[in-house]
Amino acid sequence: MHTRTLGSDLRVSAVGLGAMGMSQSYGPNPGDRDDMIAVLRSAVDLGVTFFDTAEVYGPYVNEELVGEALAPVRDQVVIATKFGFRIEDGRPAGLNSRPEQIRAVATASLERLGVERIDLFYQHRVDPQVPVEDVAGTVGELVREGKVRCFGLSEASARTIRRAHAVHPVTAVQSEYSLWTRDPEPEVLPTCTALGIGFVPFSPLGKGFLTGAVDASTAFAADDVRTAIPRFTAENRAANQTLVEHIAALATAKDATPGQVALAWLLARHPSIVPIPGTRHTARIEENAGATRVPLSADELSDLDGLAGRIGVQGDRYNAHHMSLVDK
């Protein structure tokens, strides 16, 4: 596995692993926790060193899972987690990034992860009630205290990134980014490049759609998050199928999979981009890692760059509630 650097010195595998789906969001959760621990450990064997979790995943249980799975290899991996939600009765109940909340989450996350220091501590969503300068200052204090190594932001606007970075260096910004979600390109990506901040795309495979594993006929479980995403209505999946077929045709020509092509395109965008596809299966981790070995020519990259614009993408990436949590 190739490695890349986020910010000034956070060295990670070129493809990471998002662990959220091991505890929530994509249909019935795995029945055997030991199976997920085995998958996480197999990722390390395949060269993955960058793992993403959050207190709100579960809530709480995903951090515990990741912490237990990676304990034997703690010195070989980078673990990112997140703060920023108020959790009541086991469910997220709005945003909370007040300094005292950030400190409380850091203490609890350290315990659940079983680590002495959080490698990368993201603000999960920007809290409009708390100046980001206060957030950055609080995380900076945690860095000086040795409880946190690096500070990150998720779904933050370019303006917010600049304000936070002026108080304490931002190592990485995490947002949805893929061949069919291009929102960060006009402002966020140029800002990250200018400031030397790494960029971490989540849902780099379009929540499964860009791999070809999901189409208009796919039946989602009632608790699958995609049932509430406009882009995943049967009508919109059918309309967006042309995009996947184009990726699949290129994949066949490259002796690769559609998912590998989608990841290879991201990796080619900038050397500080590190996607974190999620999965519950070791075979998928191995496939995703193989994206680092898929060469794309300048013409192929140019063709993929214009794909969404030429074909069009139907449906919003979030419903109205979740869009309201994205910093503008």
Assign residue 133 the CATH number of its domain: 3.20.20.100
**Within 10 Å of residue 212's Cβ, how many Cβ atoms?**
17
Quick check: is 119 in a domain?
yes
- List the one residue out of 163, 185, 162 whose CA is nearest residue 265: 185
Q: 33-75 pLDDT, tens per residue? A: 999 999 999 999 999 999 999 999 999 999 999 999 999 999 9
Quick check: is 316 in a domain?
yes
Band (pLDDT 50/70/90 cuts) for residue 29 is confident
Q: 299-309 pLDDT, tens per residue? A: 999 999 999 99
Q: 117-160 pLDDT, tens per residue? A: 999 999 999 999 999 999 999 999 999 999 999 999 999 999 99
Residue 31 has pLDDT above 80, yes or no: no
Q: What is the pLDDT averaged over residues 250-268?
A: 98
The pLDDT value recorded for residue 27 is 79
User: 107-112, long-range: CB within 8 Å, 24+ apart, which pairs?
Assistant: 107/147, 108/55, 108/60, 109/55, 109/63, 109/81, 109/83, 110/147, 112/55, 112/60, 112/63, 112/64, 112/67
Alpha-carbon distance 230 to 232, whole Å? 5
C-alpha 151: how far from its chain's center? 15
Phi, psi values for residue 62, rounded to 5°: -70, -40
Query: How far apart, in Å, are the Cα atoms of 98 and each of 48, 67, 95, 113, 308?
Result: 33, 25, 9, 22, 39
What is the extent of the structural domain holding 88?
Answer: 3-323
The pLDDT value recorded for residue 28 is 78
**Within 10 Å of residue 312's Cβ, how many Cβ atoms?**
12
26 labelled catalytic: no
The pLDDT value recorded for residue 30 is 76
Quick check: is 12 in a domain?
yes
Angle, alpha carbons 82-170-104 (nearest 5°) = 35
Q: Which of 26, 57, 177, 318 is catalytic?
A: 57
Quick check: is 81 in a domain?
yes
Average model confidence (pLDDT) across the chain? 97
Alpha-carbon distance 112 to 95, whole Å? 21
Quick check: is 231 in a domain?
yes
Q: What is the pLDDT averaged over residues 93-103?
A: 97
The pLDDT value recorded for residue 38 is 97
The pLDDT value recorded for residue 81 is 98
Residue 270 has pLDDT above 80, yes or no: yes
Q: 155-204 pLDDT, tens per residue? A: 999 999 999 999 999 999 999 999 999 999 999 999 999 999 999 999 99
Q: Specify the number of domains making up the chain.
A: 1
Band (pLDDT 50/70/90 cuts) for residue 32 is confident
Quick check: is 328 in a domain?
no
Band (pLDDT 50/70/90 cuts) for residue 25 is confident
